[in-house]
Copies of this chain bind each other. A is one copy, B any other.
Amino acid sequence: MNVDIEKANQKVIDKIQAGNPVLKGIGTVGENVPEVHKKMILHAGPPVEWEDMSGPTRGAVIGGLIYEGLAKDEDEARALAASGEIEFDPWHEHSGVGPMAGVATVSMPVWIVENTTEGGQAYCTFNEGLGKVLRYGAYAPDVIDHLKWMENELAPVLTETLAQLDNEINLKSIIAEALEMGDEVHNRNRAATSLFYRRITPALLETDFNVDKKKKVLEFIDSNDHFFLNLSMPAAKSMIQVAEGIEGSSILTVLARNGTETGIKIAGLGDQWFTAKAPVPEGLLFSGYDKDDACADIGDSTITETVGLGAFSMAASPAIVKFVGGSVEDAFNFTRKMYEICEDESENFKVATLDFRGAPTGVNLLKVCELDITPQINTGIAHKEPGIGQIGAGLVQAPMKCFEQALEAFAAKYA
């Protein structure tokens, strides 16, 4: 096929720059992704079946089946998951994203984020908080109870709160402001969470719930500086998914991991996944764990990197190194390096420490392969066994192999 790659890439860049993610409300997985049924589980990363799943993904699947009442305990859940009765599918095939294991089941509540300029919606579950949580593969009864509280109390309160705000919170402006406040909105979301908290609180006060319920919701958000991650992710997804299928473009539209494999998609190559073994991130581990405990790279949260956020904006977020490791100089260097493989600089997301230079935006497959530089990632680290949870946070580069495969396919299609 004879195409102008540069022109196609510019089209993608224009779409990313114009994208305007707005939080429009809350629904359930089933309401918003009708193809999901009770015996279907969405997960992070490229496709994977039960036998190949990483520990945390298995743990989250076990938890998801218990949550939906399909299994009463771990043994039943394992048997059901292995039976072939359960359908597994990546969130990315359904306009959604999930952090870490990224498991979502039909009745879980999701944020609905709409790209009001370029069209389309993207979805993500709520952030559960820290420690032993489903997304890191934990599934003990208190994990499930907490998810039920999120469904039965958190979601209704936030739904009513958003209704008070006419179901309209601009996420692009919150993200842009948060970048000036030391977030990169992937592994540091303290500012964005704070700004979101300020945005919703007066409306939350106006809802009809009693003071205890309102207070519990606010204290829950306040207890977890990563709360906004589950909004920055669908915001990024909504901005980049409009580029999927643009003929001739070599821009990365998906970068996602499931703890087993890292997978990517390229705009001009449509729905095709290119995958490679997921590397194990290195970083700061919680006391009592060492790097042999770490699961390989996992989660859809690297969707933020596809639009210039996350590790690509780490120069905006020097304090993040206390969480993910590395030095402040590394943080600056990651951003500088990512300019080399990106097609443009963001008009919306500015890195104040680099004199308000726009964040490196739009990873170009051709540059990745030419320069042998893959996207930098920062990430939470899950224990490799199911049922345990987070053990730290760190840094990793996406594996070159999936880019090499994509380049072959790109060359074959467009040579």
**Interface of A toward B, CB cutoff 8 Å:** 177, 180-183, 190-191, 194-195, 197-198, 201-202, 205-206, 211, 214-215, 218-219, 222, 318-319, 327-329, 352-356
The distance from the CB of A241 to the nearest CB of chain B, in whole angstroms, is: 30
Look across to chain B and name the residue whose beta carbon is closest to the beta carbon of A357: B328
**Please, which residues of chain B bring their CB within 8 A of the CB of A222?**
198, 201-202
Secondary structure class of chain A's binding surface, majority of residues: helix
A202 in complex: contacting residue of B195, B218, B329, CB < 8 Å: B218
Min Cβ gap A153→B in Å is: 15
A356: chain B residues at CB < 8 Å are 328
Once the chains bind, are A319 and B355 in contact (CB under 8 Å)? Answer: no
A177 surroundings in chain B (CB, below 8 A): 190
Question: Is A211 a contact partner of B206 (Cβ separation < 8 A)?
Answer: yes
The CA of A101 and the CA of B339, in the complex, are separated in Å by 47
Complex partner residue of A181 from B190, B197, B205, B354, CB under 8 angstroms: B190
Q: List, in ascending order, chain B residues with CB within 8 A of A202's CB.
A: 215, 218-219, 222
When C-beta atoms are compared, the residue in chain B nearest to A180 turns out to be: B319
Write out the residue numbers on chain B whose beta carbons fall within 8 Å of the beta carbon of A195.
194
Q: Inside 8 A of A218's CB, which chain B residues have their CB?
A: 201-202, 205
Question: Measured between alpha carbons, how far is A394 from B353 in the docked complex, in Å?
Answer: 19
CA distance A328 to B353 in the complex (A): 7
Residue among B183, B214, B354 making CB contact with A205, cutoff 8 Å: B214
CA distance A211 to B207 in the complex (A): 10
Partner among B197, B211, B318, B354 whose Cβ is within 8 Å of the Cβ of A198: B197
